Amino acid sequence: MVVTHQPVMVDEVMRFLISNPEGTYVDGTAGTGGHSLRIAESLAPAGRLICLDVDQASLEIARDRLSPCAEKVTLFKESYVDIDRVLEELGVERISGMLLDLGISSYQLESSGRGFSFRKDEPLDMRMDQHAGISAGELINGNSIERLEGILWEYGQERWAKRIARAIAEERKNNPIRSSLQLARIVERAIPGRYHPRNIHPATRVFQAIRIAINRELQNLADFLNKAPSVLARDGRLVVISYHSLEDRLVKRAMLQWEGKKMQPRKLPVIHQSCEPVMRTVTKGALKPSQAEIDRNPRSRSAIMRVAERV
């Protein structure tokens, strides 16, 4: 059975994203179309929705899901980081709003068969776009202990990064690490039992770090944030939902810089400093899901939403 993604904070997205029902909007991480469907349904006949995603299988599900609104919707197998090129191809100068729902979908975890889940025995792929870049298996089996340790610490903030990297290197001496379950068991053994986290699987941070690394998630986000103000029309809004502190830090820092505030350098991809305000923050701080939503959809618990508007 194919598991479709349950979209997060849909009511909040609709409240902050849609200002002009006849405008042009972009869902930069369309996935299986959960948010996209709600956006498309809210648009007037003259409105337009452009859906982007690099996961072809997810896009095909979204295409079927969005078929009742097909006259308003255009789907592209493209990354949100290339939004400027997509808009130029379509002859669209500026858009009324854009949504990014970062992270991984329920479909990818449960139904894609690409090794995103540490609870399944699947090939170690983890690529959002299976036609680009190296797989998780290639990264795990082909990098030095030092490089693996760096990835686990930098992208997963994994305190046991050194022990885990050494355990991976020891295992692959005899047998290449080919499956998600194999990797998860290596991580479980590498972390002393008394230090296993209570509320999450011991391999959670490791799988997150590897996925971020091979899909260049932080660099893609930084590259996009550098061009986001230039694609938005006046009063156009950018809504970003992130699930990881490093992602949220990038988004928060960009929004402060768009307001003209000076920021100290950090060990994160570079966001260019604006000379004068180009965007304003719409919400006071970050928004988080209600407890009722978390109860319905536990995967929403780590979601953080920020909203900015073009000035």
> At 140, which CATH number?
1.10.150.170
141 shares its domain with 210: yes
Query: Residue 26 has what pLDDT?
Result: 98
199 shares its domain with 222: no
- Alpha-helix runs per DSSP H in the chain: 10-17, 34-42, 56-65, 83-90, 106-110, 136-142, 145-156, 161-174, 180-190, 204-214, 217-231, 245-258, 291-296
Of 183, 214, 245, the domain-final residue: 214
pLDDT 10s digits, 62-92: 999 999 999 999 999 999 999 999 999 999 9
Instruction: Please tell me the distance from the alpha carbon of residue 132 to that of residue 151, in angstroms, as a whole number.
Output: 19
26 shares its domain with 62: yes
245 shares its domain with 101: yes
- Per DSSP bridges, beta strands 232-242 and 95-101 are parallel
Q: How many CB atoms lie within 10 A of CB 194?
A: 5
In which domain, by residue range, is 148 found?
130-214
pLDDT 10s digits, 271-299: 655 567 899 999 988 999 999 988 898 88
Query: Residue 110 has what pLDDT?
Result: 73
- Per DSSP bridges, beta strands 48-52 and 73-76 are parallel
Query: Residue 9 has what pLDDT?
Result: 93
65 shares its domain with 203: no
pLDDT 10s digits, 185-240: 999 999 988 888 888 889 999 999 999 999 999 999 999 999 999 999 999 999 99
46 shares its domain with 184: no
User: Does 122 reside within a domain?
Assistant: no
Query: Residue 169 has what pLDDT?
Result: 95
209 shares its domain with 234: no
Residue 260 binned pLDDT confidence (cut-offs 50, 70, 90): confident
User: Does 3 reside within a domain?
Assistant: no
Q: What is the CATH classification number for the domain harbouring 301?
A: 3.40.50.150
User: Does 233 reside within a domain?
Assistant: yes
172 shares its domain with 237: no
pLDDT 10s digits, 124-157: 999 988 888 899 999 999 999 999 999 999 999 9
Q: Please give the structure tokens belonging to residue 260.
A: 């003209």
User: Does 174 reside within a domain?
Assistant: yes
The mean of the pLDDT values for the chain is 90
207 shares its domain with 226: no
Cβ burial, residue 288 (10 Å; 0-12/13-18/19+): middle
User: Does 123 reside within a domain?
Assistant: no
User: Does 1 reside within a domain?
Assistant: no
Q: Is residue 267's pLDDT more than 80? A: no
User: Does 113 reside within a domain?
Assistant: no
229 shares its domain with 95: yes
162 shares its domain with 286: no
Of 168, 191, 214, the domain-final residue: 214
**Mean pLDDT within 27-38:** 94
Task: Please indicate, yes or no, whether the overall pTM of this predicted structure exceeds 0.75.
Answer: yes
210 shares its domain with 134: yes
User: Does 116 reside within a domain?
Assistant: no
Query: Residue 133 has what pLDDT?
Result: 86
Block residue for tokens 């400093």:
273
Query: Residue 109 has what pLDDT?
Result: 76
Number of domains in the chain: 2
Of 214, 242, 271, the domain-final residue: 214
Residue 1 binned pLDDT confidence (cut-offs 50, 70, 90): very low
Look at 18 and 113; give whichever has higher pLDDT. Answer: 18
